[in-house]
């Protein structure tokens, strides 16, 4: 006769942090190694011009994997599926340090992109589907905090390993946090998320059954969610990781060190705001947070090239960071509100694919605008795109949210 499961049962909060950590450590496998790729190419005599191809191969893998990985959740149990993908991701990442030829490196990064995209899509879909309706804001805020923390830890970890053991070992070390989180789940599994998603709160006796998202409404909502994902990834890769350092070291008057401090300040302020924002979301706020969040993100981007003193430039970065942090919580919450749990995989896969396309198109497009019309025009393009995408999502929300929100917070 089967023995009962005697493993300790973890709290709901711990289970949420664990699932967020699984997502965050999957993202760390590329966040840790991307900065060392130029050094890795140089060590083995691989042409530096291939760096773009190596990075693009990883991005292509993500685009290819997102939607199929999400849809497969309808047929495959989530826990063994995610564990298998993450073990494979850890193995491929670790083995990349052994690649001493351009072809092998590009091939391994392509496979890592497929596995990494699949892991994050599966993780987010499970998180959205399994989060309790009245706690989705807190869950998504936790995900944001864990992801930001994982990114910061990854940067430090990558730099330390490169300095101590060289770029090849960075790939192996990047896989260790993934395995640590898998062991954590083996010892104290996130049962709430691996079993049937939490059901919605029961309707009030005698109240009419109200569905605020129907037919074409859900279609337009999906288009709006994809548009926001495209715009935020576009701005992140073209702005944060592309144009912002160029402006900072030029008219902004910052150095690499002070830009790092400004970025860290934006991250810390955003982290401090997340618990409060999560509570507001769980209290029913949707458009009421999207409006100021979108305005802050767009304003920060627009002001960057106009700030000619370091303090002003740093303030614009903080405003942008807080705005995008607030906006970033809401798509997952809205997805959970609007779509049944079994649809979460497909929705997350589509929105992440839209985001990855924005990441691929953004840098080329924005630097083309900067070359033709200057940095101010390029930042204006970013600001307008983010503003319009947030506005599109607000327009796609139902005009009457009260019945859904009443059930969500009961």
* pLDDT number for residue 10: 61
* pLDDT number for residue 402: 36
Tracing tokens 């946090």 back to the chain, one arrives at 177
Residue 320 to residue 379: CA distance in whole angstroms:
12
SS3 of 156, please?
helix
* pLDDT number for residue 85: 96
Give the percent of the chain with pLDDT over 90: 42
Q: Which residues contact 14 (CB under 8 A, 6 or more apart)?
A: 188
Buried-state track 17-39, b at ≥16 Cβ within 10 A, e below 16 = bbbbbbbbbbbbbbbbbbebbee
> In this structure, what token pair is assigned to residue 55?
């990075």
Residue 300 to residue 232: CA distance in whole angstroms:
13
* pLDDT number for residue 215: 54
Question: Cβ distance 154 to 381 under 8 Å?
Answer: no
What parts of the chain have a pLDDT lower than 50?
Answer: 1-6, 196-212, 401-410
Predicted TM-score of the model (pTM): 0.78
> In this structure, what token pair is assigned to residue 199?
């059901």
Q: Kindly report the CA angle at 371 between 317 and 325, in degrees rounded to 5?
A: 20
Q: 82: closest CA among 65, 66, 69?
A: 69
* pLDDT number for residue 214: 55
* pLDDT number for residue 239: 85
SS3 of 201, please?
coil
Where does 250-343 have alpha helices with state H? Answer: 256-282, 287-303, 310-338
User: What region, left, alpha or beta, does residue 5 occupy, with left being phi > 0 and alpha being psi -120 to 50 degrees?
Assistant: beta
Q: Which residues contact 59 (CB under 8 A, 6 or more apart)?
A: 113, 356, 359, 360
Residue 376 to residue 403: CA distance in whole angstroms:
44
Question: Cβ distance 68 to 85 under 8 Å?
Answer: no
SS3 of 6, please?
coil
| 200 DSSP 8-state letter | P
Question: Cβ distance 393 to 328 under 8 Å?
Answer: no
Q: Kindly report the CA angle at 22 between 268 and 342, in degrees rounded to 5?
A: 110
* pLDDT number for residue 201: 44
């Amino acid at each position: 006769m089967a023995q009962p499961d005697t493993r300790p049962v973890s709290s709901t909060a711990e289970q949420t942090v664990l699932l967020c950590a699984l997502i965050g450590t999957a993202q760390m496998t590329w966040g840790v190694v991307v900065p060392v790729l130029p050094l890795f190419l140089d060590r083995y005599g691989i042409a530096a011009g291939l760096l773009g191809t190596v990075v693009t191969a990883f991005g292509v893998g993500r685009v290819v994997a997102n939607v199929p990985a999400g849809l497969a959740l309808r047929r495959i149990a989530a826990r063994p599926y995610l564990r298998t993908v993450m073990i494979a991701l850890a193995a491929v990442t670790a083995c990349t340090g052994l690649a001493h030829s351009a072809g092998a490196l590009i091939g391994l990064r392509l496979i890592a992109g497929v596995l990494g995209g699949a892991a994050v899509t599966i993780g987010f879909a499970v998180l959205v589907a399994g989060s309790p309706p009245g706690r989705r804001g807190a869950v998504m805020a936790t995900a944001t905090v864990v992801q930001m923390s994982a990114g910061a830890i990854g940067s430090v970890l990558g730099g330390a390993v490169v300095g101590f053991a060289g770029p090849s070992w960075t790939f192996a070390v990047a896989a260790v946090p993934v395995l640590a989180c898998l062991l954590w789940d083996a010892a104290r599994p996130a049962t709430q998320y691996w079993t049937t998603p939490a059901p919605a709160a029961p309707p009030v006796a005698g109240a009419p059954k109200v569905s605020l998202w129907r037919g074409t409404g859900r279609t337009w909502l999906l288009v709006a969610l994809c548009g926001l994902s495209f715009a935020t990834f576009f701005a992140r890769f073209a702005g944060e990781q592309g144009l912002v350092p160029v402006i900072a070291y030029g008219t902004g008057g910052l150095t690499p060190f002070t830009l790092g401090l400004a970025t860290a300040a934006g991250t810390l302020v955003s982290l401090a705001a997340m618990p409060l924002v999560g509570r507001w979301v769980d209290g029913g706020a949707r458009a009421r947070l999207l409006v100021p969040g979108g305005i802050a993100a767009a304003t920060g981007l627009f002001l960057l090239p106009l700030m000619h003193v370091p303090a002003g430039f740093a303030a614009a970065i903080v405003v942008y960071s807080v705005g995008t942090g607030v906006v970033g919580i809401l798509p997952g919450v809205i997805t959970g509100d609007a779509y049944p749990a079994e649809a979460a995989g497909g929705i997350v896969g589509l929105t992440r694919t839209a985001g990855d396309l924005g990441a691929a198109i953004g840098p080329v497009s924005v630097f083309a605008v900067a070359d033709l019309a200057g940095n101010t025009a390029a930042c204006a393009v970013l600001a307008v795109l983010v503003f319009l995408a947030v506005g599109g999502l607000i327009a796609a929300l139902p005009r009457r949210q009260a019945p859904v929100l009443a059930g969500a917070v009961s």
